[in-house]
Amino acid sequence: MNEELLKQLKNKYEALGENPENYLKGLLHSKPLNYWDYIEVDTLLSLQKPKTDFKDETVFIIYHQITELTLKLMIHEARQITELKDFTGEEIFMDKLKRLMRYTDMLITSFDVMKDGINYDDYSQFRLSLTPASGFQSAQFRHLELMCTPPINLVNENGKKELTSTPSADEIFENIYWRDAGYNRSTGKSNYTLKAFEEKYLEGFKALTMNVQGHCILEQYLKFDNPSEKLKIRMKDFDHHYNVRWPMIHLKTAAKYLQKKGKVKEATGGSDWKKYLHPKYQQRSFFPDLWKKDDILNWV
């Protein structure tokens, strides 16, 4: 046995105030680690629970579960940017943005699974059993947005007309763009999909906003004294990929299944999907000041 390795192990556990011998003795009884245990394969493969007998509903479920796992990867990278303390170099920041771009590309290309991999007639039937659930209710999607930019940047032009000159956090969240998927401004009423979503997650969204205040991704970028043009371009690329390209692919995929032969079907969550999904309506930009004349609102 390598004496230096034993010494390092001894130092490690003594630094923790633990007896190194107890840990080494424990190794005598530990079982070898298997792939299926480490990845929790059996648990992972048991999480698909279709509501109907249509075979392609399983494809639909797994697709959305993969999307949620991809968003978790993105939040994992975004959190590391929000925790940065050193702004003398751009390497870590650039690397994390590159990873965020890679995962966004995965989200964009994965829509082929939905667009070309699900039987239209089957989907038209099993989707009815999903009401009022909606992909709009993905909390991780909102978590990532709030880690990228201050929530005021998630209020579209219609929403901003409702704000006071110095809006509170509650006021901003009352007018944030995603509420338009389930809130009727003329009646002041919310549908069940939005009510259930806000009841479960809204306080957590507000807490996250407070936790990252001053060091969301946009605010971290602004701490560089003289950010390079390369960093600026990477910020804009991520902004455009996530807030323009991905929503447009989503919209086109939804159109295939919800609009056919001149008939427009309602989304399972009840939103006006043709309007709500379009990035021109959402007007979402994480880093609006970086665009200036080269406006991200020139969406397509």
Query: Closest by alpha carbon to 204, among 155, 156, 140?
Result: 140
Give the DSSP letter of residue 168: -
Positive or negative, the CA dihedral 217, 218, 219, 223 is positive
pLDDT of residue 265: 58
pLDDT of residue 166: 95
* Rounded (to 5) percent helix, strand, coil in the chain: 65, 5, 35
Angle at 238 between CA 235 and CA 145, to 5 degrees: 100
Cα 300 from Cα 67, distance rounded (Å): 24
Would you say 137 and 269 are in contact if contact means Cβ atoms under 8 Å apart? yes
Cα 137 from Cα 139, distance rounded (Å): 6
pLDDT of residue 6: 86
Would you say 258 and 264 are in contact if contact means Cβ atoms under 8 Å apart? yes
**From the first residue on, what is the mean pLDDT of each consecutive set of 10 residues in the chain (300 residues)?**
84 90 86 94 97 95 96 98 96 98 96 88 89 90 98 94 95 95 88 94 98 98 96 96 90 74 56 73 92 63
- Phi/psi-derived region of residue 40, left when phi > 0, alpha when psi is between -120 and 50, beta in every other case: left
Give the contacts of 149 (CB within 8 A, at least 6 positions apart): 216, 217, 218, 285, 286, 287
pLDDT of residue 300: 44
pLDDT of residue 39: 96
Would you say 178 and 169 are in contact if contact means Cβ atoms under 8 Å apart? no
pLDDT of residue 26: 85
Would you say 191 and 131 are in contact if contact means Cβ atoms under 8 Å apart? no
Give the DSSP letter of residue 186: T
Cα 160 from Cα 158, distance rounded (Å): 6
